[in-house]
């Protein structure tokens, strides 16, 4: 697992992204982190019935 702050330092150019393992409410899950302009967005991913989805978008 990569801490959020470390991910923000890794993503340098607009459009850079990575999928990382994280914990939410003590459950292991995945998150899409994307560099957008001067900010980094972190979007939780969901997986159900063989399909990956973006949550909370």
The domain spanning residue 38 has which CATH number?
Answer: 3.30.505.10
Using a 10 angstrom Cβ sphere, with 0-12 exposed, 13-18 middle and 19 or more buried, the burial of residue 33 is: buried
What are the backbone dihedrals phi and psi of residue 30, each rounded to the nearest 5 degrees, phi first?
-120, 155
Mean pLDDT of the residues in the chain: 93
Query: Whole-angstrom Cα distance, residue 9 to residue 33?
Result: 11
- Would you give the end-to-end CA distance of the chain in angstroms? 23
Q: In the chain, how many domains are there?
A: 1
Would the pTM of this model clear 0.75, i.e. be above it?
Answer: yes
The DSSP secondary-structure symbol of 9 reads H
Model pLDDT, residue 54 = 95
More confident residue, 39 or 1: 39
With a cut of 80, say whether residue 8 has pLDDT above it: yes
Q: Which domain, by its residues, includes 40?
A: 4-54
With a cut of 90, say whether residue 1 has pLDDT above it: no
- Among all chains, which residue has been given the structure tokens 């995945």? 30
Paired tokens of 1: 């697992």
With a cut of 90, say whether residue 24 has pLDDT above it: no
């Amino acid at each position: 697992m990569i801490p959020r702050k470390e991910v923000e330092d890794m993503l340098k150019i607009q459009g850079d992204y990575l999928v990382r393992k994280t914990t939410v409410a003590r459950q292991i899950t995945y998150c899409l982190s994307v560099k957008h302009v001067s900010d980094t967005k972190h979007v939780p991913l969901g997986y159900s019935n063989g399909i990956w989805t973006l949550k909370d978008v």
